[in-house]
Amino acid sequence: MSSFEKKNGVLHAEGVSLRDIAAKTGTPTYVYSSAHIKGQLQALQGAMSAALPADRQPLLCYACKANSNLAVLSLLRGQGSGLEIVSEGELARGLRAGFDPAKIVSTGVGKQRSEIAACLNAGIAQLNVESLPELLHIQEIAAEIGKTARVVFRLNPNVSGGGHDKISTGQKHHKFGLNEAQVFEGFKMAQSMSHVEAMGLSIHIGSQVFTVDSFETAFGKLPGIVKDLRAQGHDISRLDIGGGFPIQYKDEKLLDLDAYARWVRDIILPLETQIIMEPGRYLVGNAGVLLTEVLYAKETPDRNFLIVDAAMNDLMRPALYGSYHAIEPVQNHDAPEKIYDVAGPVCESSDIFAKDRTLPEMKTGDLAVIRSAGAYGFSMASNYNTRALPAEVLVEGERWAIIRKRQSLEEILGADIAPEWV
């Protein structure tokens, strides 16, 4: 059920007219639905609590790279979520949003020294180690600051997973994780480290994973590896089974969450560890739209372009992955249809949100939404073409708030420094 529906011919976010939001904030603006975010978290929690005993529920750590606005983080924290972070910046956001460090996990293939130190100083739950040189760094830094680093090793299972080559992470040619032999090596190294406590394993195979089969294949060797590690005397008390839960952008057949939860019960639960999961896109993807205004309906002998004021710098996914996003006018849904290419103003041919899309006819000043934009939308936005970062709005029922102001040009220009010798 979408939280973006028409009421009296005008598209609303929950109880709020998108026309009203555009009138007050301008466009382009990301608009998020609190009800949708809460509903998704509850659906995941519900599937897990139906399948697993109350005392073995997983810790859900929201992968905040999907959408790291502090209001979104606070909302999810309030619903009991933990957090997965990939940088010192995301750690700072998590702490600012009030997450208990014991519910924060840090992943990432290139953790910098300052990031490792910040994680250790904050006392987060664990660092997911992605290389053996990183493990050495962690030991060194932990010893320097007198902390014990809790780590798990990220296993690269060498299977394909994820709905698109660029969002798959679990094959041997990918930069992510360690192969099996390196995982064993990592545990051995950690045994002799004074400031590292190796606690388990993590696996994340990619995003948009549609079938339980894909998880089954990726995690196939896990029970054997856990058994062998234990036989070597290692204490395996945590398994972080990653994210990847899909959302519908178009007509994709979604993962059966109950079947997934039963798979967790049958395969992961018997391994007798704490279970951690890292959902990102699933919680926020369809909770957001990018609200935009038509600048020009431009006709050429070949194409009808709708040039809108949002661009690839605001929402990068179509240019980056060729991804599909539904597009819809905010009003006048019954206008005669026309076939459009929907494009932004940026000077790149890849600045196209949709090609050959049948839409009700639109003109200058009309509003439209680009759907499914809540995940990897704003968080990937840039200042390309010296375009200001868009505003963000959160809706709850009949009320709404700007949760990030549109960036001013002064904020962008003010960061540049021209030395006096130029």
Minimum CB distance to ligand PLP smaller for 174 or for 265:
174
- What angle in degrees, to the nearest 10, is found between the helix axes of 180-191 and 222-231? 30
3-state secondary structure of 104: strand
Listed in sequence order, the DSSP H helices in 9-69 are 18-25, 34-51
Tokens of 130: 């992605």
State the catalytic residue, choosing from 61, 64, 119, 347: 347
Say whether 347 is catalytic: yes
In whole angstroms, the minimum distance from the beta carbon of 84 to ligand PLP comes to: 5
Exactly one of 93, 103, 150, 204 binds ligand PLP (CB under 6 A); that residue is 204
In whole angstroms, the minimum distance from the beta carbon of 229 to ligand PLP comes to: 21
Exactly one of 200, 279, 318, 329 binds ligand PLP (CB under 6 A); that residue is 279
Exactly one of 31, 44, 59, 63 binds ligand PLP (CB under 6 A); that residue is 63
Exactly one of 37, 66, 271, 369 binds ligand PLP (CB under 6 A); that residue is 66
Q: Is 285:244 a contact under the CB 8 Å cutoff?
A: no
244 makes contact with ligand PLP (CB under 6 A): yes
**Helix/strand/coil percentages in the chain, nearest 5:** 35, 25, 40
* Burial track 260-278 (b if 16+ CB lie within 10 A, e otherwise): bbbbbbebbbebebebbbb
In whole angstroms, the minimum distance from the beta carbon of 105 to ligand PLP comes to: 9
Minimum CB distance to ligand PLP smaller for 16 or for 60:
60
- In the range 321-340, which residues lie near ligand PLP by CB under 6 A? none
Q: How far apart are CA 148 and CA 196, in angstroms?
A: 6
Minimum CB distance to ligand PLP smaller for 85 or for 294:
85
Count residues binding ligand PLP (CB under 6 A). Answer: 16
Q: What character string, x for contact with ligand PLP (CB under 6 A) and - otherwise, covers 86-115?
A: ---------------------x--------
282 makes contact with ligand PLP (CB under 6 A): yes
Q: Applying CB under 6 A, which part among 43-51, 58-66, 136-144, 392-400 lies near ligand PLP?
A: 58-66
Minimum CB distance to ligand PLP smaller for 176 or for 340:
176
Minimum CB distance to ligand PLP smaller for 66 or for 155:
66
Q: How far apart are CA 63 and CA 105, in angstroms?
A: 9
281 makes contact with ligand PLP (CB under 6 A): yes
Tokens of 80: 């009991």
84 makes contact with ligand PLP (CB under 6 A): yes
In whole angstroms, the minimum distance from the beta carbon of 388 to ligand PLP comes to: 26
Q: Applying CB under 6 A, which part among 59-67, 262-270, 310-318, 361-369 lies near ligand PLP?
A: 59-67
316 makes contact with ligand PLP (CB under 6 A): no
Rounded to 5°, the CA angle 373-379-385 comes to 95
| Closest by CA position to 272, among listed 238, 308, 225, 316 | 238
Could you give the count of Cα atoms lying within 13 Å of 365 in the half-sphere of its Cβ? 0
Q: How far apart are CA 41 and CA 61, in angstroms?
A: 11
- CA diameter of the chain: 72
3-state secondary structure of 361: coil
* Radius of gyration in angstroms for the set of CA atoms belonging to the chain, rounded to a whole number: 23
Q: How far apart are CA 333 and CA 361, in angstroms?
A: 9
Q: How far apart are CA 195 and CA 143, in angstroms?
A: 6
3-state secondary structure of 133: helix
Minimum CB distance to ligand PLP smaller for 325 or for 387:
325
Q: Applying CB under 6 A, which part among 18-26, 191-199, 242-250, 253-261 lies near ligand PLP?
A: 242-250
243 makes contact with ligand PLP (CB under 6 A): yes
Minimum CB distance to ligand PLP smaller for 137 or for 204:
204
In whole angstroms, the minimum distance from the beta carbon of 317 to ligand PLP comes to: 12
Q: Is 326:2 a contact under the CB 8 Å cutoff?
A: no
Residue 276 forms beta bridges with which residues? 59, 240
Minimum CB distance to ligand PLP smaller for 276 or for 389:
276
Summarize as ranges the residues that interact with ligand PLP (CB under 6 A). 63, 65-66, 84, 107, 204, 207, 242-245, 278-282
Residues carrying an active site annotation? 347
